[in-house]
Chains A and B, each alone.
Chain A
């Protein structure tokens, strides 16, 4: 079955960077976009950007422009999201989600908690 499995929780200091991975299985990785969404505790869903795993093309939400980089390694069907210059407000659960929205549903990763604290 289609699965997205993310890397484990991270604790970072302010100003550092974090790189979260998202490994896809059960489908052809290069056939569907990967989106990244984050959710602070008790808050709503915030879209960060997307990546086309086939071309490597990306699009980022304006809020994250200059701080976020989305990449992939097609040989291991894995997408990555790197966020730099971390601040306490970046503490959140980060999700990857496949970009094709249709009857079969939208596969999401299990989420990765990133905690930014001095």
Chain B
């Protein structure tokens, strides 16, 4: 089983600032089958990034993903008020597993 470890657990930032979220895998994620989701309270997760760096339809270009192998990053270039939420990475190359999440909160 591939274990995903996200850091930091919580990120306290102000609107307009840049957010950098990390996701490290216990073994290489095949074919960059790495996704990022955003989840707000009371809602199901929403896909932001798939294939490590491709934005899903309708996702603003302030969201970007990068990385390969075991190290992946989600960057939000300028935080908007609606971006404060919990973010999860997911690998889908060998069944599914999720990281434990990073909460992006308003400073």
Known A44-B101, A59-B95, A61-B95: A103·B44 in contact at CB below 8 Å: no
Q: Residue B95 contacts which of A50, A95, A105 (CB distance < 8 angstroms)?
A: A50
Nearest-neighbour CB distance to chain A for B88, whole angstroms, equals 6
A53 at the interface (CB under 8 A from B): no
Q: For the side of the interface on B, what is the size category?
A: 20 to 34
For residue B50, which residue of chain A has the nearest CB?
Answer: A101
Residues of B21-69 at the interface with A, using a CB-CB cut-off of 8 Å, are 33, 35, 37, 39, 44-47, 50, 54, 56-58
For residue A108, which residue of chain B has the nearest CB?
Answer: B44
Asked if residues B95 and A44 are in contact (CB atoms below 8 Å), the reply is: no
Residues in B neighbouring A111, C-beta threshold 8 A: 44
B70 at the interface (CB under 8 A from A): no
B1 at the interface (CB under 8 A from A): yes
Interface of B is mostly: loop
Inter-chain CB contacts under 8 Å: number: 54
Q: Residue B35 contacts which of A46, A101, A104, A110 (CB distance < 8 angstroms)?
A: A101
B98 at the interface (CB under 8 A from A): yes
* Per-residue B-contact encoding for A23-62, CB less than 8 Å = 1, 0 else: 0000000000001010000001111001000000001011
Known A44-B100, A47-B97: A105·B46 in contact at CB below 8 Å: yes
B contacts, CB < 8 Å to A: 1, 33, 35, 37, 39, 44-47, 50, 54, 56-58, 88, 90, 92, 95-101
A contacts, CB < 8 Å to B: 35, 37, 44-47, 50, 59, 61-62, 95, 97, 101-106, 108-111
Going nearest first, the 6 A-B pairs with the smallest beta carbon separation are A108-B44, A47-B96, A45-B98, A106-B47, A44-B101, A105-B47
Of the A-B pairs whose beta carbons lie under 8 Å apart in the complex, a sample of 15, sorted by A's number, is A44-B99, A45-B37, A45-B39, A45-B45, A45-B101, A61-B1, A61-B95, A97-B44, A101-B92, A103-B54, A103-B57, A105-B46, A106-B35, A106-B47, A108-B44
